[in-house]
């Protein structure tokens, strides 16, 4: 395990280089994380020493590639405490995982007048697939509201749960508010009605210690690129009963068992879902990312981020005219902080911060129903990871004040 005062930035090549001749502070990890040298080396090493296709080849290189690919699956299973590596399906992203669940499972079991519950705080990737499935099946999409901390309002959730509920699909952590939902409690309530729980863990897998068995989610999805891994690799976790019932949504090589002119049968779970040549190096890169995270320890990552968020929230609250969305208490918060400055468009604030060397994000963050719920069109979002430092937070605060003063002086 790494020393808790380790200089993590030193492990990330991009964080040690100027951008167009200027030093940069990266505060957009909720969109995508940076990659440590350890992950870059794992990807390069595979292509340089053992690039071959998996599962079907009898040659030594193919066998080694298959071993590495399946070892990566086991690494993911261990990371989330899945019962078996067979519970882990490799996909392209959280988005693809959620689409596969909606199309391959939910569309098979939903009937007219059944209900799907999601929240107003979901990413579009956890809204649109359910809209489409509802249209296809005649099911009804039901939205649950939030409490004052930006978490799922459990009272409202319980009111909307019924015998008609067949699917509940919620984020573990909001990509806008940084609020953490009580998934284990939600699972208990959901299962009392015999419904299945789908969890979007895109923002929690990089930051919290996940235990899918304790959470008791039926499905759970996350992406590699938000947790130090490469882009183009995602994970779909499922309990074995729902994976067995779920139908593949892509067909071709790898996933078949036998094919005749008129019929075909599938490989067992999870290979039956992985048609074609998979993202082998993506899985290997994700495994390297998990190894790196394990060296730090997810508990340590939580502690580092908590200190940064506590510092940032305290400093932000001292700035006149600022509105912070989501939990106001750092204990209920992850490293995502969204805010607006009164009278200033978020894009103007983001551009001003960019000129000050601070990389944040402005917009609706693929969560327009939440923006409507909050009564805004967009927000500025700063998102921290363990490789950020208290100095980064302080520079953000100074930059916000500079941007605020510039616009106030410019329009005075």
- Residue 363: strand, helix, or coil: strand
Burial 297-322 (b: 16+ CB within 10 A, else e): ebebbbebbbebbebbbebbeeeeee
Tokens of 410: 């410019």
Residues comprising the chain, all counted: 412
Q: How far apart are CA 320 and CA 330, in angstroms?
A: 20
DSSP 105: I
Q: How far apart are CA 75 and CA 63, in angstroms?
A: 18
Catalytic residues: 366
Report phi then psi at 55, rounded to 5: 75, -45
- Residue 88: strand, helix, or coil: strand
Burial class (CB in 10 A: 0-12, 13-18, 19+), 409: exposed
* Other beta carbons within 10 Å of 139: 23
DSSP H or E stretch at residue 57: none
- Are residues 124 and 366 in contact, defined by beta-carbon separation less than 8 angstroms? yes
């Amino acid at each position: 395990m790494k020393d808790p005062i380790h200089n993590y930035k030193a492990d990330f090549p991009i964080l040690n280089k100027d951008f167009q001749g200027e030093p940069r502070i990266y505060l957009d990890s909720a969109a995508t994380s940076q990659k440590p040298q350890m992950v870059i080396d794992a990807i390069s090493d595979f292509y340089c020493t053992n690039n071959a296709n998996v599962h079907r080849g009898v040659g030594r290189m193919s066998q080694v590639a298959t071993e590495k690919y399946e070892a990566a699956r086991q690494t993911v299973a261990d990371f989330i405490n899945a019962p078996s590596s067979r519970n882990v399906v490799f996909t392209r992203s959280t988005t693809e995982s959620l689409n596969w669940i909606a199309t391959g499972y939910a569309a098979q079991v939903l009937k007219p007048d059944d209900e799907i519950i999601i929240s107003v705080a979901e990413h579009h990737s956890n809204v649109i697939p359910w809209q489409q499935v509802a249209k296809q099946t005649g099911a009804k999409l039901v939205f649950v509201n939030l409490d004052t901390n930006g978490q799922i309002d459990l009272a409202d959730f319980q009111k909307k749960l019924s015998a008609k509920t067949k699917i509940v699909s919620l984020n573990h952590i909001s990509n806008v508010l940084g609020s953490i939902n009580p998934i284990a409690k939600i699972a208990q309530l959901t299962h009392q009605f015999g419904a299945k729980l789908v969890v979007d863990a895109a923002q929690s897998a990089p930051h919290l210690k996940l235990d899918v068995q304790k959470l008791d989610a039926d499905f759970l999805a996350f992406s590699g690129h938000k947790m130090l891994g490469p882009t183009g690799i995602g994970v779909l976790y499922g309990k074995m009963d729902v994976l067995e019932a779920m139908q593949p949504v892509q067909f071709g090589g790898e996933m078949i068992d036998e094919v005749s002119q008129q019929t075909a049968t599938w490989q067992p779970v999870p290979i039956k879902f992985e048609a074609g040549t998979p993202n082998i190096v993506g899985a290997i890169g994700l495994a390297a990312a998990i190894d790196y995270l394990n060296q730090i320890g997810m508990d340590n990552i939580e502690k580092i981020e908590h200190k940064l968020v506590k510092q940032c929230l305290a400093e932000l609250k001292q700035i006149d005219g600022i509105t912070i969305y989501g939990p106001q208490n750092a204990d209920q918060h992850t490293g995502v902080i969204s805010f607006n400055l009164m009278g200033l468009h978020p894009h103007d604030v983001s551009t001003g911060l960019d000129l000050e060397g601070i990389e944040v994000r402005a917009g609706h963050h693929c969560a327009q129903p939440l923006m409507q719920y909050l009564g805004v069109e967009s927000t500025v979002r700063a998102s921290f990871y363990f490789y950020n430092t208290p100095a980064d937070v302080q520079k953000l605060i100074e930059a916000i004040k500079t941007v605020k003063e510039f616009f106030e002086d410019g329009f005075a």
